[in-house]
Amino acid sequence: MKKALLTLTLAFGLFGLATAQGLPKVAGSPAYPTTNIVDIAAHSANHTALATAIQASGLAPKLRGPGPFTFFAPTNDAFGKLPSGTLQNLVQSGNQTTLSQILNGHLVPGRLAAIDLARAVQEGGGSAQIKTLNGSSLTLTLDGNTLVLTDQFGGSARLMQTDMYQKNGIVHVADGVFMPK
């Protein structure tokens, strides 16, 4: 019972799941379950860099497809933490494969809600591993009430907003970008 209570507390108290009061919003725009992952990035003022990266990577058709996917969507601020000129370089023609690999490192097959991620951390004794579409692993942990993802190189991202359901998956807003070394 205590374990179930902790899981429910994590899901509803910490991650701001959608309630009867309305749909979750990304940059003030509602995240409708009838849109796809590309739509949510394209209509979010906080994800213009991501929308540009998705288009330049060639992943837009895949991310409009049936999925389902779990996408840890970096914000503009997350891209802004990269060394100067990194994103501008990555979106240039000729870097499509590299950019696609980077974005696939933010994608997980299946639909993993915040409660699923929190449960995996709890069941894993404080951490859990998930495999991304580029074949790398992300380690999930909790820092207080916030889910944290850490890549194999030590890069990390905190989930700032969770559970934006889309028809082909679920989006969680992340404050970091996972970059290869």
Please write the tens of the pLDDT for every residue from 84-121. Answer: 999 999 999 899 999 999 999 999 999 999 999 999 99
Query: How many whole angstroms separate alpha carbon 160 and alpha carbon 146?
Result: 8
Does residue 175 or residue 165 have the better pLDDT?
Answer: 175
Tokens of 21: 């009061």
pLDDT range class, residue 26, cuts 50, 70, 90: low
Amino acid at 146: T
Query: How many whole angstroms separate alpha carbon 70 and alpha carbon 46?
Result: 18
DSSP 8-state assignment for residue 45: G
Tokens of 169: 């998956």
Q: Does the reported pTM lie above 0.75?
A: yes
Please give the pLDDT value at position 33. 63
CATH number of this structure's domain 2-16+23-174, picked from the four choices 2.30.180.10, 3.40.630.30, 3.20.20.140, 3.10.50.40: 2.30.180.10
For 3-19, the pLDDT digits (tens) are: 433 443 344 344 443 33
% residues pLDDT > 70 (the chain)? 82
